[in-house]
Structure 1
């Protein structure tokens, strides 16, 4: 049984005032909360156990989503406290609720038609990241991809620089050696790239980052059409 972690603890500062009283993942797009689109796609990929990390207005998540039974899955919540722990700290905080096998991680504030069932059950390395073509607001991308391997500065000439789509499969070892608390995951990616254990794939399907009211409105209109 595959497990997944949905990162939903952000403050949603750029989305204010919409997020003053509602967590960003619970804002509606296309007639349903953004996070529900992820839960439906995970259920379609036969993921039956999902952990959702929470912080800002955390009590609204179980009230809105319950125990997951309506999607044929079990949902558990990993509360981070009033201050989000960043991606790295959030994953480490959620590990006690996740099994020993590699798990899917997706940020709640993106939308994509990516098929989670296509992700490798056993990544060739500590993580496998889904990379997307660089959007206008991130023209330089994040990492370079060549032959399924991700690079930062030492990429081969044939590598293509892409943007991390905030979808991936992780082994628990990605945060090994870290102390509990607030920390970013980027240093762990860099360590993995140096050790040649960070893998990836390019995805050319529909993908959007939902960070501002305008981005939310654009996606909402598209889904309703």
Structure 2
């Protein structure tokens, strides 16, 4: 299995820390935040990891190299001066990820979820890890049903953790799903992943699970400091 680590964001809420250091390279307990994910991916047996970059992209390779210290092969998917959002970034990285299911994780989360709990491949087009709603996202993102299936809306919505397993076929009809949304006309296109996930949910092609352990969206200096 290959993996994608989302690391292209500008980290605007984390400024001034991210004026000179991309958020995934900010230190948490003695090492870059992204390193915690790379260690877990290596422990899972992943060998090839794509890291998408944009903001301060030139800082990643000097800090991470080619992944040798983790026994990984890192491949950098540079998106240009403006990040392509989650959907556009994943689409841009697909040639490096191949035709098989792959794992994707947001670089700017802190989570004790064990990647070994993920299925080897999603039953449909995607399998998502959800967490309890934090204070900054009280309404949640998606509904997880008792049978493990997911829907875009429901009475008990949970928050998407930023950890998921995907099939490239999720993007088979992305233009018809995204439509005329701003950014879709660009080359490379820029769009969010959520509309594709919602469409796949409505088609019964997304499953999920509820992780009740530790999870933090490291989006502000205060949340970063709270990690110690």
Question: Residue 47 of structure 1 aligns to a residue in which SS?
Answer: coil
C-alpha deviation, 1:161, in angstroms: 1.6
Cα pair 2:174 2:196 within 8 Å, conserved: no
C-alpha deviation, 1:32, in angstroms: 0.4
CA distance in 1, matches of 2:116, 2:47: 12
Q: Which runs of 4+ in 1 moved over 3 A?
A: none
Do residues 166 (structure 1) and 162 (structure 2) align?
yes
C-alpha deviation, 1:54, in angstroms: 0.1
CA distance in 2, matches of 1:60, 1:12: 14
Question: Residue 205 of structure 1 aligns to a residue in which SS?
Answer: coil
Give the aligned partner of residue 72 of structure 2: 73
TM-score for both structures, normalised by structure 2: 0.92
- Structure 2, unmatched stretches of 5+, are 176-187
Aligned positions, number: 215
Give the aligned partner of residue 104 of structure 2: 105
RMSD of equivalent CA atoms: 1.1
Counterpart mapping for 1:141-220 below 5 A: 141-146=140-145, 147-153=147-153, 155=154, 160-178=156-174, 180-219=188-227
C-alpha deviation, 1:178, in angstroms: 3.3
Give the aligned partner of residue 123 of structure 1: 122
CA distance in 1, matches of 2:61, 2:174: 29
Cα pair 1:46 1:117 within 8 Å, conserved: no
Q: What whole-Å deviation, never above 9, does each CA across 1:99-137 have from its counterpart, x for those lacking one?
A: 211000000000111111211111011100000011111
CA distance in 2, matches of 1:16, 1:92: 28
Q: What whole-Å deviation, never above 9, does each CA across 1:3-55 have from its counterpart, x for those lacking one?
A: 10000000000000000000000000101000001001111111111000000
